[in-house]
Structure 1
Amino acid sequence: MSADLTWLLIKNNNSFLVKRNGVQFSSEAGNLLNKNSFKFSGIANKKTIDIAAAASGRGVVVSTPKTKVTLTKGIRKSARSVAGLTRAGYRADLRQVALARVAAVLATQKPVKAAPKKASKGVRANKN
């Protein structure tokens, strides 16, 4: 079945569709922006890219219909790998969105730095 026909059948009703406040979102795998549109649809398009957090909590998993790779080397190397994947003629229109998704997933995995503790009001420093 063609991608256009599939999109016409699923665009208004499917199990991944989320409608809130007049906006339609989609929670399907392979949809980088979670937007209900033909360009980002993981069901209607044959060539999709799915980027998700790794199960170990460190790195991202980049999936295409044929391959699945876990990238754990940091944001620059992960971004370079994803850019190379999309540059090779495989959905070049999704390059910027995929890079933004990789950066967002890796940013959520950074440890939160603790704020320095302040001295309590009852304790004074010794000036001697």
Structure 2
Amino acid sequence: MSADLTWLLIKNNNSYLVKRSGVQFSSEAGNLLNKNSFKYSGLANKKTVDVAAAPSGRGVVVSTKVTSVPAYKPSKGLNKVTLSKGVRKSARSVAGLTRSGYRADLRQAALARVSAVLNSQKPVKAAPKKTGNGIRATKH
């Protein structure tokens, strides 16, 4: 089935569609911006890029759709790579993957998603205890 026909069938009703306050979002895998649009749809497009947190809690998993897999083998339809070397190396790998002709239009969104996932995995620094400098701060 063509991508355009698939999009026409699923754009208004699917199980991943979230409608709130007049805005439509989509929570499917392969949708980098979670927008309900044909460009970012992980269901309608034959080539998709998905960036998610690694199950180990360190790094990201980058998934791409394999276009040559038959429809009756959905488990073999994704190519998953775990990137855990750091922010710069992960970003470089994702940029190279999207720039190489796979989905160059999703490069910025994929890089933003990698950055957001890796930043969310950083430990939270404890805020230093505030000390007062005035006269009342030194009185007990």
Residue 76 of structure 2 corresponds to: none
Deviation at 1:123, TM superposition (A): 9.2
CA-based RMSD: 1.7
- Normalization by structure 1: what TM-score? 0.91
* Segments of 4+ moved more than 2 angstroms: 116-124
Aligned-pair identity (%): 81
1:112 to 110, 124, 133: 124
Residue 52 of structure 1 corresponds to: 52
**Secondary structure of the corresponding residue to residue 18 of structure 2:** strand
- Normalization by structure 2: what TM-score? 0.83
| Alignment gaps of 5+ in structure 2 | 67-78
Partners of 1:72 and 1:79 lie apart in 2 by: 11
Number of paired residues?
Answer: 124
Residue 31 of structure 1 corresponds to: 31
Partners of 1:118 and 1:64 lie apart in 2 by: 48
| Alignment gaps of 5+ in structure 1 | none
Query: Which AA in structure 1 matches 2:92?
Result: R
The 5-angstrom pairing of residues 67-86 of structure 1 reads 67-86=79-98
Partners of 2:109 and 2:87 lie apart in 1 by: 15
**Secondary structure of the corresponding residue to residue 64 of structure 1:** strand
